[in-house]
Amino acid sequence: VLLSVLDELEGTADGYYVVVGGITPTPLGEGKSTTTVGLCQALGAFLDKKVVTCLRQPSQGSTFGIKGGAAGGG
């Protein structure tokens, strides 16, 4: 997505969230979760705002340094 899309939204009310509903994973295994985290990081950095990503994938807890609490890290 080109950042010029933000120019088209000039003067409109701010949105509240972005949903990545479904994509086909790449041969390297990158898919919805990777895209969601990347979009969240990029939007947060570009807009200089705090952002939250909700990944309903407990097995990825250890990837993000989370242990216990059903995060798949033990």
Give the model confidence (pLDDT) of 19-43 as tens digits. Answer: 666 667 777 776 777 778 888 899 8
Non-local (6+) Cβ contacts of 41 within 8 A are 51
- CA torsion 8-12-16-19 (nearest 10°) is -30
Residue 20 vs residues 24, 35, 54: alpha-carbon distances, Å: 11, 8, 11
More confident residue, 48 or 69: 48
Q: What is the CA radius of gyration of the chain?
A: 15
- Residues 27, 21 contacting (CB under 8 angstroms): no
Is the pTM value of this prediction over 0.75? Answer: no
